[in-house]
Amino acid sequence: MFKQILEISVMNLKNLPSRLGSSSVIVVGIAGVVGVLIAILSMAVGFTATLDRGGEADRGIILRGGTAQGELTSQIDTRRMFYVGTLDGIELSSAEVYMVADIPKRSNLSPANVVIRGVEQDAFAIRPEINIIEGRNFETGRNELIAGRSASQEFVGIGLGAEVNLRNSDWTIVGIFTADGSAYESELWADMPTTQSAFQRQGAVSSMRVKVSDPADIATLQETLDANPQADLQITSEEEFFSSQSEQLSTLISTFGYAVAAIMAIGAVFAALNTMYSAVATRTVEIATLRALGFGAVPVVVSVMIEAIVLAVLGGVLGAAIAYFGFNGFTASTLNQGTFSQVAFDFAVTPALIQSGIVWALGLGVIGGLFPAVRAARLPITVALRGE
C-alpha cells in the first residue's frame, strides 16, 4: 500500500505544472491567510516583548495602594517615601514623577500621549540598560530632557537640541538614550526635583523604583507593607507589572488576528475544495484506470491529500515569507491602555509565529483535500472509465 501511495503521489506532484493555474489558487489563498495571521500576531508579540524588556525580577515598582492601577493614578507623599527608604532588603531606590504630555506623531501629526518621567540619579543604577547614545545626560536643577530613541523617531520635535514646550515651560533635549528596546525608549526623562517644581508636583511622587538583592525579597517587602496599614503601599515586581500591562492589548490583537484569519480561511478552504474537486474531475479516467490496475482506494485518497497538503505548505511558506520580509522589525506605536500613553514597538515575526502559520496551512490543506480525495476513491470504476 505504501508503495502505491508513493507511486501515485509522485505522479500527481509531477503533473502539478500542467495544473499550475488552478493549483496556484490554493497556494495564493492560503498564503494570504497565513501572511495576514502572522502579520497581525507579530504586532501583539512585538508589543508584549517591548514591555517585557523593561522588567527584571530583582526590580520592583511601588505604587499607592487601594485604587492606584498604574503610575498615572498613583501618588506617594514625602512621608511614605522616607518610610520606603527604611525598609530592609532594598539596595537602591528612585522616587519618580510620571506624567503625560500631548506631542504630535510624525506619521499623521495627531496628538499622542508621551510619558514625561522625572527620575533621581539612582534610576540609572537601577536600570543599567539605559545608555546615552547621543548628547549627554540631563543636569540636576535645569529644564533638560533626555529622549528615548523610539520617542525621537516617532514624535514631532523630539530630537537632540530641540526645544519642547511642556505645560507652559520650555525644556531642551540634551540626549538620546536606548533601553534595550523596552517601553522606556518611548519616554522623555528629566531630573525629578526639577520636574516636581515645573509641574507643581511638590510633596509627592507617582511611584518608586527599587532594586532588591533577591527577587524573593519583593514578596517579603509586600508582607511588611501589609503589616503597616498607614503605609498604604503595594510593591510589584517589574516583570509582573509590565506583563499585566501588556495582557489586555495583546489579547485584543490576538483575538482580532485569529478572527480575521478564520474569515479568510473559510474562503481559502472553499478555493482549495473547488480546485481539488476540479483536479479530481479532470483526472477521473486516470484515477479509474489506476483502480482497474489494482491500486487501492486508500492510496488514491492519501495521494490526493498529499497533493493538497503540499500546495498548502507552499502557500504557508509563501505567506510566512511575505509576513517576515514585509513586517518583521516594522516600527509602529499604539496606546498602552495600562498607562494611557503611546508605546513605540517593532513587529516581531518569531519562529513560533511562523510555525503556527504553517500549522494553519496544513489544517487548511487537510480540510481542502479530504472531501475531494474521498470522492475520488468512491467513484465507481466502470462509470469513471467512461468519463462520467
Residue at 108: amino acid letter: N
Burial bucket for residue 339 (CB in 10 Å: 0-12, 13-18, 19+): buried
How would residue 168 be classed by pLDDT, with cut points 50, 70 and 90?
confident
Judged by average pLDDT, the poorest of 87-91, 124-128, 253-257, 331-335 is 331-335
More confident residue, 369 or 103: 103
pLDDT at residue 382, as a whole number: 62
- H or E element in which residue 113 lies: strand 111-119
How would residue 4 be classed by pLDDT, with cut points 50, 70 and 90?
low
How would residue 259 be classed by pLDDT, with cut points 50, 70 and 90?
confident
> Which grid coordinates belong to 85?
527608604
| Residue 313 to residue 318: CA distance in whole angstroms | 8
How would residue 341 be classed by pLDDT, with cut points 50, 70 and 90?
confident
How would residue 138 be classed by pLDDT, with cut points 50, 70 and 90?
very high
Q: Which of 217, 309, 264 is nearest to 36 (CA)?
A: 264
pLDDT at residue 28, as a whole number: 84
pLDDT at residue 8, as a whole number: 61
Average pLDDT over residues 274-291: 66
| Residue 317 in this model has a pLDDT that exceeds 80 | yes
| Residue 215 to residue 155: CA distance in whole angstroms | 36
- 267-277 per-residue burial string, b: 16 or more CB within 10 A, e: under 16: ebbebbbebbe
pTM: 0.76
More confident residue, 359 or 305: 359
Mean pLDDT, rounded, of the chain = 83
Burial bucket for residue 220 (CB in 10 Å: 0-12, 13-18, 19+): middle
Average pLDDT over residues 224-241: 86
